[in-house]
Chains A and B, each alone.
Chain A
């Protein structure tokens, strides 16, 4: 999905060219094949995505254990959320996660993309190396990092080797470090992914723009700020959406490394939603958390899109 968006947003020229034949086709009768192409996915999507999502909103207004029929309780779930310390902790952790995981993966991914955009000897190797973690399932990633963090594991050995043994601790079991110890492997993976998105964007920038800037006497720094970054506007929207969505749905890595523990210190909204639903069997309450996640994601992304459209208009 992200790839096609890049193609659309980055290649503005292509779409203007393609505009002409599209207008001509509109005057003709709609082809049944075209209608089928739109309606069939829409119907499938409705059954598998839209309808359950709407149901989720309804469930958030009920008390439901998954066994007996849901019972309507109004906004009680939301009122409870407001006073739930674990939920507040999860919200704060999710914001930390969004800022650290999101921010650092953009900075890291963009930096790597700039470094690796030029075709040099061996650059493919580095690109592949950075992208490799994306290929692994997050659960596999978690297994590897668990070995890294385990008592007397690689992390501890390195610290001892450089004389920092006072820092050695139970990384995943210490409430002070658990969340950050989980962010690190998530970043390790995400940077490669964001790098690829930015690389695609950088490739789409017309080299003539850089050349013109260079002729006008712009230095490298100016070209980065005045040419490269403004040209990446389309990719930025994609990256932002990916980052926000990935942050809010980050679950598997947290669950497989810490199970949101010890005592909720690495709890995110997503893990709290899972444990409310499938451990406490409070599906109504879990749906309310899901709605909060949805609203958060929508707010961040809509906020960006509205701004982006306003600038264009």
Chain B
């Protein structure tokens, strides 16, 4: 979930396979075979030997991102520091199969994935290669990225390549037509919503059908604006409770803007919410830059965004900046080749090449690498640079397993805000199960 350069969540091939094979016949029989396939599967496309090619297992399956990563590998192979092959998997399949890849007897060497808790979770199980060697050459990288890539025992397990940002996106032409400005504070924001509503436009677009995780952006942002990023991280790590009054305060704020949400938003996915925004059927949309993949090229120039409004000026400003990159299997047969490839990904040249050939509006993490030359990207970069703290996203700051509990709680809240106390109790109970494992 929640996406490097994200690809559509819908993957008929896999669904069908699971539906027809996995759950076929007598449910238990099918499920048994599926589950044990995870346990005993030793098959993997990787053929690691100490001198052979390094396999990169990639979830970058959207056409441009796929081309971009293939180009990078091609360039790496030409440099003569080693050879690598890339194996692209549909992103949803990749996500569900990642534990299987990592635990198989002969795993692929390098994987695209996300920084933060989600990587540390694998590191704590001893599945990830120590890449501290690679980090020794990265003196220029900011400390925040190093911390993000470090596991609980103090070694680096992750190599970042790009990140992106979230914000309220809107069409400049529409804002001009409606005669409205970007809001700075919560009060401005409420006034803007009221104005748009008065003009008959649903002010806030959202897309929760199929992609309910989009609602987590609202929770993340309200929480880091009201309670601050440290509390947010503690909450997502299980050190705070979801039924805490501080969490309830988040929903009290959220309730103030609930009437301004597009009522159709709960029925369609974020891709269609993007279409609605571009067509002027909604005013603005809190989303990550990956949404632009679903936007026609001619609309890109008309897009702008503003940061999530400040609620409490005393809370240090934090922004969501999900970081994408790579980690490697602890069982790789070719650690030197693997590290050579990872080192290549950390260079400004590689990151610039990736940004050039991929479509998404992404920022290279190398301090000296140039991002794409557009006002939108410069604005996003400046916003992240000015933030006191960066968070990743709900699932990346916690785990993929905690995400469904948030989806249930948040979509239910948006439907039945009166039941917030019960919803938070259920959420806490669900989260405890996940943390207990």
Residues from chain B with a CB closer than 8 A to the CB of A291 are 28
Residues from chain A with a CB closer than 8 A to the CB of B212 are 259, 261-262
Among candidates B36, B103, B267, B412, residue contacting A67 with C-beta atoms closer than 8 Å: B103
B120-157: which residues lie under 8 A (CB-CB) from chain A? Answer: 122, 125, 127
Whether A205 sits at the interface, judged by CB under 8 Å, is no
How many residues on the A side are at the interface (Cβ–Cβ under 8 A)?
64
| Contact B412–A263 (Cβ < 8 Å) | yes
A10 CB → nearest B CB, Å: 23
Residues from chain A with a CB closer than 8 A to the CB of B30 are 249
Q: Identify which of B19-27, B185-193, B333-341 touches chain A.
A: B19-27
Residues from chain A with a CB closer than 8 A to the CB of B125 are 67-68
| Contact A172–B27 (Cβ < 8 Å) | no
Interface magnitude class on chain B: 35 or more
Q: Identify which of A18-26, A51-59, A113-121 touches chain B.
A: A51-59
Query: How far, in whole Å, are A283 and B36 apart by their CA atoms in the complex?
Result: 10
Query: How far, in whole Å, are A125 and B207 apart by their CA atoms in the complex?
Result: 41
| Contact B36–A245 (Cβ < 8 Å) | no
Whether A37 sits at the interface, judged by CB under 8 Å, is no
| Contact A248–B209 (Cβ < 8 Å) | no
Closest A residue, CB atoms, query B264: A151
Whether A297 sits at the interface, judged by CB under 8 Å, is yes
A249-306: which residues lie under 8 A (CB-CB) from chain B? Answer: 249, 251-252, 255-256, 259, 261-264, 269-270, 273-275, 277-283, 286-287, 290-291, 293-295, 297-298
**Which of B35, B38, B407 has the largest number of chain A CB atoms within 10 A?**
B35
Given A53-B28, A66-B38, A263-B408, check contact A280 B434 (CB 8 Å).
yes
Among candidates B23, B102, B209, residue contacting A270 with C-beta atoms closer than 8 Å: B23
| Contact B38–A56 (Cβ < 8 Å) | no
Given A66-B39, A264-B408, A281-B99, check contact A56 B28 (CB 8 Å).
yes
| Contact B28–A262 (Cβ < 8 Å) | no
Question: Taking chain A's interface residues, is the majority helix, strand, or loop, or is none over half, making it mixed?
Answer: helix
| Contact A139–B32 (Cβ < 8 Å) | no
Among candidates B39, B96, B102, residue contacting A278 with C-beta atoms closer than 8 Å: B96
A106 CB → nearest B CB, Å: 20
Given A63-B437, A170-B267, check contact A297 B26 (CB 8 Å).
yes
Q: Which residues of B contact A (CB under 8 A)?
A: 10, 12, 15-16, 18-20, 22-39, 96, 99-100, 102-103, 122, 125, 127, 208-210, 212, 263-264, 266-268, 400-401, 403-404, 407-409, 411-412, 415, 426, 433-434, 437
The 4 A-B pairs of least Cβ separation, nearest first, read A56-B32, A294-B28, A252-B19, A293-B27
